[in-house]
Chains A and B, each alone.
Chain A
């Protein structure tokens, strides 16, 4: 019979779930905190009465803040989750959207779209998702056969693509004579330009992409295997890679549209999660989402409270928070390789 001793997965699953629940609880507390703290403070009573439908004077501020924080939570989380998927596809822990050219090509395409066709949230979203897919494909195909041999190659090619694309983006923004000023946030990453419509689009994308990612996670561990083993256990390797890549592009592209360049979160969130739950895809995906969301929410909270009434773009504070974490990950990564 199956019991705790004969089936070790039950015990491991229990440990994994505890960690995820703890992470989720912390995230909820942070979310509520960031709703009440700000230039205009809101009390818990006001928040409660808003939730229960009793209207007060601070409704509008609260409404704005809920949208903004929901966008921060979802986008940060989606970037974390998307990066965890990217790292699985490339079997490379040092991969992130901004290191594979996804972010910069997506930003470039959105800005070109706005400059030549016009500004609309739906167009921004489509171009963002398409751009991140194209960025990753260029990078992946250029290094395709050499993935396992030289992991640094992928990152170096990604960085070169990013530099080139960022330069063109800046050129267009400069050339547009303030017409595209609202896209300046792309360069540093900010929630300042978040509109109700952006939030709505992000929520729709999250509702499509996150459940798909969770179903994908049940099949994802075969991507960690070498090609021969995964083929011999009957895994449709290419199809799985394609589906994973599409979901990652959806997740990352749509969050880039809302918050622009999010810097180090992509590389930090999955690597920190891996320290807690290892390479178990479902747990890794959930925790990467939670940690990505946590970093971005904290970054936004700090960014908009530290020098009130002015604001530091969340992308900048996120990088300040994530950079030491990234150094820590690098240290562990290289120490692990030498042992």
Chain B
């Protein structure tokens, strides 16, 4: 079965251990959510899987191939990563910006094929940006810009999708839309790993939850098993009383 494997992964900057001895397996065609407090190493974990940074120790394999042995283009054809923050270049239209996602599919002469255009249009349609395709991307509202970023990620058409807090800046409607989109994409055979902060959202879409704390894997498993008040209090170091209220009443939804 095709999957992502992390074997004894360590990542440190100077003396600071960011990811500490982490081993896990992510199965194909699953929607995995990573949750944990700020600074627990969630984004670093995604960046490691995406191959943007190399582990200090340990191995990361995708479909039984070490990601270090793949070229940048072939890795991009397998894994696509949406960073937490990214800059949209000035003056490019939404269409031109999303087209950058096709980079790994282009030849060295750099022309967009008919297939590329179809993929771009499809990505724009999926993120509800069809009406804004000819607008300058950098001048859109924050939520619309975030949708353009997601569209760029989708245009890349890779089977593995890593999203670092994709809900940033999206209003409720667009958040619901994105949740639906993630479920749809999973049905289409994608493997999705996403960092979310809203536990209700996690519960409604996740097949698997990864709980992180201080660079370590705290727990991994089905949301129904893991998302209970005891684990969450433990992971987030929260006051039980306050969290209990918040947990019973769906504040964010």
Taking Cβ atoms with an 8 Å cutoff, the residues of A that contact B are: 2, 6-9, 11-12, 215, 217-219, 221-222, 224-226, 228-229, 231-236, 274, 278-280
A279 touches B110 (CB 8 A): no
Give me 24 A-to-B residue pairs in the complex whose CB atoms sit less than 8 angstroms apart, sorted by A's number: A2-B114, A6-B121, A8-B133, A8-B134, A9-B95, A9-B99, A12-B93, A215-B110, A217-B110, A218-B109, A221-B92, A221-B100, A222-B100, A225-B87, A226-B86, A226-B87, A228-B47, A228-B52, A229-B87, A229-B152, A232-B79, A232-B80, A234-B73, A279-B90
Is B247 an interface position by the 8 A CB rule?
no
Q: Mark B73-96, 1 if CB is under 8 A from A, else 0.
A: 111110111110111011111011
Closest chain-B Cβ to A53's Cβ sits at a distance in Å of 38
CA distance A94 to B79 in the complex (A): 36
Q: A218-B109, A219-B110, A234-B77 are in contact. Are A279 and B50 (CB under 8 A)?
A: no
Within 8 Å CB of A228, what residues of B? 47, 52, 81, 83, 86
Query: Which residue from A12, A225, A235 sits with its C-beta under 8 Å from B89?
Result: A225
Q: A225-B89, A235-B103, A278-B91 are in contact. Are A218 and B152 (CB under 8 A)?
A: no
Count of chain B residues near A, Cβ 8 A = 45
Query: Which residue from A12, A217, A234, A278 sits with its C-beta under 8 Å from B103?
Result: A234
A279 touches B52 (CB 8 A): no
CA distance A278 to B83 in the complex (A): 25
Question: Which single residue of chain A is at the shortest CB-CB distance from B73?
Answer: A234
Q: How many A-B residue pairs have C-beta atoms within 8 angstroms? Tell me.
A: 98
Closest chain-A Cβ to B112's Cβ sits at a distance in Å of 7
Within 8 Å CB of B111, what residues of A? 218
Most chain B Cβ neighbours within 10 Å, of A2, A8, A219, A274: A8
B76 touches A234 (CB 8 A): yes
Closest chain-B Cβ to A333's Cβ sits at a distance in Å of 12
Within 8 Å CB of A221, what residues of B? 89, 92, 96, 100
Question: Which single residue of chain A is at the shortest CB-CB distance from B83?
Answer: A228
Within 8 Å CB of A232, what residues of B? 50, 52, 76, 79-83
Q: A9-B96, A225-B86 are in contact. Are A2 and B50 (CB under 8 A)?
A: no
CA distance A236 to B104 in the complex (A): 10
CA distance A235 to B152 in the complex (A): 14
Query: Which residue from B47, B91, B93, B100 sits with its C-beta under 8 Å from A233?
Result: B100
CA distance A274 to B77 in the complex (A): 32
Within 8 Å CB of A9, what residues of B? 95-96, 99, 112, 117
Chain B, range 34-93, C-beta contacts under 8 Å to A: 47, 50-52, 72-77, 79-83, 85-87, 89-93
Given contacts A218-B111, A225-B87, A233-B156, 9 further A-B contacts (CB under 8 A): A6-B121, A215-B110, A218-B109, A219-B108, A221-B89, A224-B92, A226-B86, A231-B52, A280-B91
Is B101 an interface position by the 8 A CB rule?
yes
Most chain A Cβ neighbours within 10 Å, of B73, B86, B103, B108: B103
A279 touches B101 (CB 8 A): no
Within 8 Å CB of B89, what residues of A? 221, 224-225, 279
Question: Which single residue of chain A is at the shortest CB-CB distance from B74?
Answer: A234
Closest chain-B Cβ to A110's Cβ sits at a distance in Å of 34
B108 touches A215 (CB 8 A): yes
CA distance A130 to B118 in the complex (A): 45
Query: Which residue from B50, B81, B96, B149 sits with its C-beta under 8 Å from A12?
Result: B96
Closest chain-B Cβ to A93's Cβ sits at a distance in Å of 9
CA distance A12 to B103 in the complex (A): 19
A236 touches B72 (CB 8 A): yes
Most chain B Cβ neighbours within 10 Å, of A215, A232, A279: A232
Within 8 Å CB of A222, what residues of B? 100, 103
B72 touches A231 (CB 8 A): yes
Within 8 Å CB of A6, what residues of B? 121
Within 8 Å CB of B114, what residues of A? 2
CA distance A11 to B93 in the complex (A): 12
